[in-house]
Structure 1
Amino acid sequence: IKNYFETLIFFLIKAVSQLIADAGIGGSRFQHSLAIINNFANGDKQMKNVNFPAEVKDLTKRIRTVLMATAQMKEHEKDPEMLVDLQYSLANSYASTPELRRTWLESMAKIHARNGDLSEAAMCYIHIAALIAEYLKRKGLFSMGWPAFLSITPNIKEEGAMKEDSGMQDTPYNENILVEQLELCVEYLWKSERYELIAEVNKPIIAVFEKQRDFKRLSDLYYDIHRSYLKVAEVVNSEKRLFGRYYRVAFYGQGFFEEEEGKEYIYKEPKLTGLSEISQRLLKLYADKFGIDNVKIIQDSNKVNPKDLDPKYAYIQVTYVTPFFDEKEAEDRKTDFEMHHNINRFVFETPFTLSGKKHGGVEEQCKRRTILTTSHLFPYVKKRIQVISQTSTELNPIEVAIDEMSKKVSELNQLCTMEEVDMIRLQLKLQGSVSVKVNAGPMAYARAFLEETNAKRYPDNQVKLLKEIFRQFADACGHALDVNERLIKEDQFEYQGEMKSHYKDMLSELSAVMNEQVRSSIYWRLGLNVGS
């Protein structure tokens, strides 16, 4: 009887959780119904000497706990980030009951899919698959557990925290259910254009079909994997896939945000969502909660001192950030996908001058680089992840020049080595690089820091480094002109001639500034003779 009642409790809790997730039950009538059930159990004289009333009381208490946890969801039903956070919290509370954890992960996936956050929906389904695989492994029914998914996302370690109690005993999982779940994962990986993960997700399915000797389905499966790799080959460096943009969002105002006050998150927004778009979305969301006159958006990226803010307002700071990689990571991550998968560090830069102004001439322009680290890696089962640490470094004017010129060299080299050269981007970069008339361009840095009288003000090692970067820059511009010349049609011959003329002028001025002859390694191929 005890095992039967534990099973009954499990299925009742599961049913209630499902109803709350899908239909949002939990009003006063439902609460009243729980009270009536309790009263009947306590009032039954024949049950006085058995554990039945206590078991009923425990059941209704657990149901009320679910209701209390979900009452907040009703309050935040129009706030997708907060709603998913609350459901994630509830999912984590069911580590010992896989089927209930699955219920809330599925609910999160539906919210993500509804809002167009398809990568996050895919991750929810992958976590469910790992949960099922781990359950089957512990039962001795399957050879792979959660570690089989580690190459897809390190976040999957969460599914290794499964505890064993009656809820786990009564979970009706088998290999076929795992296969169905994995097929759902594959569907959402196609939808989210994360084709590189499809082969990895299919590995447990292959193991099942091989065990079942289902050669027809194996054949079909390998064909699907073949298609996914063809798709990867087609789009790998085309920049046609839009994996999303990232924003640092911070909340200030204890009277409004309560436990969220002072917290910082990285928000992953779909495709090409701009700063103004996410700012307006958050402004409307919180204006509906607190009143339009009580919410202010801070778009300045400077560090906020809460003491300087008016407590009458709710402040939301929104800052555009980009994924950050150290030198080794940048070398290893060569494709768009790799630069948007399993990432948890982000960077933004804030310009300043020692005089207090935000912007100044190149010889006085400094910048502060801030690197943020999140608690989990993107993409995740949530589209916003809390920032757990940050570091800031300040760059002086010559360091800013070194940094900016290094970026230009890297961008030009990257554009020149693409399988399909993006002519528009290449020509825009060339135009901004070789035209000596651009006052804020490369030559402004060269004149400010490399002319003999100016160079004496800066450390010798930094001057030498900047000179070397300008040599690389001259070479990169030469290669870019060469690539452009090979790809243009007749109607752009005149434009190419102008660019070559600008390039020659730039090299002449750069040679004078650096007091050495600066040449590209393919100077002669461009038809630029040394005497001209």
Structure 2
Amino acid sequence: LSPRVGLQPKIWLVGTRVTPLISYWFLKEPPFTKLSEISHRLESFYTDRFGQGVVEVIKDSNNVVRTSLQASKAYLQITYLEPYFEKWERRRRPTYFERCHKIKRFMYATPFTRHGKAHGDLQDQYKRRTILSTQHSFPYVKTRIRVVEREQKVLQPIQVAIEDIEKKTRELSAAIAQNPPDAKMLQMVLQGCIGTTDIVLNEYGVPIDKLQNKLKICFHDFSKKCADALVLNKQLILPDQLAYQSELQKNYAEFTRRMAPIMGGAPRTNDHKELVTQAERAVAVAAEIGPVTSV
């Protein structure tokens, strides 16, 4: 969740010194609390309770093998969570307030590869999504709630790519829609980079299944939002940032060139100029029309 709402960590406890069974808890912390602060505080609390050398903090969010743990120790696994919404639920919660209240499902993601490393090349990058359901909805009168359900799903490399592109597109949309515009926030999003690969296409560059077609659509949406963001940024920057704007447009041109096999059609050197020009025209028309009030 946003720092203004508060950090949502998941606490995992195991070991006979704490409980005979695995126990999951969900904590709500004050805004702007760092995960390292929570880890240090809880480690100190249980060390004072059980003694030195008993408490051990697991520093990753991977699945823990029970047989590798010592029953005489108390283990803590602390992970940052964010609210989880299905697509239909996201549509029913359009406002910021609705997406921060009456929440019972949270998720965290763990990147991994088949070779044992956490990160690798795009074609080897998998992600394990863990969804936790709490006993009560947040916000709640208590800051600690027990987790009552846990489910996991493994995302294939192409699904990881789709999820990342969709997230980046949402960030761009939110930055563009801010009123009044926030130049710093917009530039922070624009500076984000994206890796590309042709492993999800066949030898002719044509999508061969539903996921590949979805990835192609995501790239189209992402490219359009980038063009819109470039137009808005051009209107917000100061004269001393013209070189920065030029570099952004250059990178966008390179991006569209590399994406041509995925998005279809042969790459053209002026593709990015056409998209930016179309976006500029749309902004000009909107300015002439003025604000529209829906009834």
Match for residue 45 of structure 2 among 285, 300, 314:
285
Determine the structure 2 residue equivalent to 1:372.
132
Determine the structure 2 residue equivalent to 1:419.
179
Number of positions where the alignment pairs a residue of Structure 1 with one of Structure 2: 275
Determine the structure 2 residue equivalent to 1:301.
61
Determine the structure 1 residue equivalent to 2:121.
361
Match for residue 257 of structure 1 among 18, 21, 35:
18
Match for residue 311 of structure 1 among 48, 67, 71:
71
| 1:523 has 2:272 as partner | no
C-alpha displacement of 1:311: 1.6
* CA RMSD after TM alignment: 2.3
- Is the CA contact (8 Å cut-off) linking 1:448 and 1:454 kept in structure 2? no
| 1:483 has 2:243 as partner | no
- Is the CA contact (8 Å cut-off) linking 1:251 and 1:316 kept in structure 2? yes
C-alpha displacement of 1:361: 0.4
Q: Which amino acid aligns with 1:353?
A: T
Q: How does 1:79-98 map to 2 (within 5 A)?
A: none
- Report the more deviating stretch, 306-315 or 378-387: 306-315
State TM-score, norm by structure 1.
0.49
Q: Which amino acid aligns with 2:19?
A: E
Determine the structure 1 residue equivalent to 2:191.
431
More helix by share: 1
Counterpart of 1:411 in 2: which secondary structure? helix
Summarize deviations over 1:296-340 as a string: whole Å, max 9, x none.
Answer: 011221222322201221101111111111112222323333222
| 1:447 has 2:209 as partner | no
Q: Distance in 2 between matches of 1:486 and 1:333?
A: 32
- Is the CA contact (8 Å cut-off) linking 1:455 and 1:463 kept in structure 2? no
C-alpha displacement of 1:514: 4.3
Q: Which amino acid aligns with 1:484?
A: N
- Is the CA contact (8 Å cut-off) linking 2:47 and 2:55 kept in structure 1? yes
Q: Distance in 2 between matches of 1:526 and 1:479?
A: 6
- Is the CA contact (8 Å cut-off) linking 1:324 and 1:345 kept in structure 2? yes
Determine the structure 2 residue equivalent to 1:334.
94
Summarize deviations over 1:370-401 as a string: whole Å, max 9, x none.
Answer: 11000101111110110000111111111111
Q: Which amino acid aligns with 1:499?
A: L
Determine the structure 1 residue equivalent to 2:212.
463
Match for residue 511 of structure 1 among 254, 260, 278:
260
Q: How does 1:110-189 map to 2 (within 5 A)?
A: none
C-alpha displacement of 1:277: 0.9
Summarize deviations over 1:396-442 as a string: whole Å, max 9, x none.
Answer: 11111111111111111111112233322221221224xxxxxxx24
Q: Distance in 2 between matches of 1:336 and 1:513?
A: 34
Counterpart of 1:347 in 2: which secondary structure? strand
- Report the more deviating stretch, 365-374 or 330-339: 330-339
- Is the CA contact (8 Å cut-off) linking 2:220 and 2:263 kept in structure 1? no
Higher relative contact order (CA 8 A, sep 6+): 2
Q: Distance in 2 between matches of 1:512 and 1:281?
A: 51
C-alpha displacement of 1:358: 2.0
Q: Which has the larger radius of gyration?
A: 1
Unaligned runs of 5+ in 2: 281-295
Counterpart of 2:277 in 1: which secondary structure? coil
C-alpha displacement of 1:515: 4.3
Q: Distance in 2 between matches of 1:360 and 1:474?
A: 25
Q: Distance in 2 between matches of 1:381 and 1:526?
A: 48
Counterpart of 1:300 in 2: which secondary structure? coil
C-alpha displacement of 1:512: 4.6
More strand by share: 2
- Is the CA contact (8 Å cut-off) linking 2:175 and 2:186 kept in structure 1? yes
Assess, with a 3 A threshold, how the Cα gap between structure 1 residues 315 and 523 changes in structure 2: closer, same or farther. Answer: same
- Is the CA contact (8 Å cut-off) linking 2:216 and 2:262 kept in structure 1? no
C-alpha displacement of 1:517: 5.1
Match for residue 269 of structure 1 among 15, 23, 29:
29
Identity among equivalent positions (%) equals 36
Determine the structure 2 residue equivalent to 1:246.
8
- Report the more deviating stretch, 374-383 or 327-336: 327-336
Assess, with a 3 A threshold, how the Cα gap between structure 1 residues 455 and 461 changes in structure 2: closer, same or farther. Answer: farther
- Is the CA contact (8 Å cut-off) linking 2:230 and 2:276 kept in structure 1? no
Q: Which amino acid aligns with 1:524?
A: T
Counterpart of 2:4 in 1: which secondary structure? coil
State TM-score, norm by structure 2.
0.86
